[in-house]
Amino acid sequence: MGCRIAYIIRPGTVEDGLVDPSDGEAALFCSVSGLMFGPIFDSVEDAEGFIEFCPRDPREHDGDNTLAAMHSAWMASQEERSNAACRSNT
C-alpha cells in the first residue's frame, strides 16, 4: 500500500480493446484511500520519475503547496536535463 500511479486513458485512444500507454496520461493515487492527488503527468514514466525525485512519499506533501513546489522543481530539473543533453549532442 502507498503511493501508486493511475493510468489515465483519453477518449478515442483505445483501439480494438488495446490501450497504448504512450497515448495516455498518469496521476498519483493513494492506494489506502483510493483518491487521486497532485498533478497530471504526460506519461507513466514522468509520474515514476517524479516519485523517485520526491525525498519521501508524495502523499505526505499533499494538502499544502509543498507538492506543487516539488512538482515545479522536478519540471525544472527535467528541463535542465533535456537542455544538457541537447548541449552535449551539438
pTM of this structure: 0.77
Q: What is the pLDDT of residues 13-48, one digit of tens each?
A: 666 666 666 667 899 999 999 999 999 999 989 999
Residues 6+ apart with CB under 8 A from 32: 1, 2
18-57 burial by CB neighbour count: b if 16+ within 10 A, else e? eeeeeebbbbbbbeeeeeebbbebebbebbeebbeebeee
Residue 85 is predicted with a pLDDT of 76
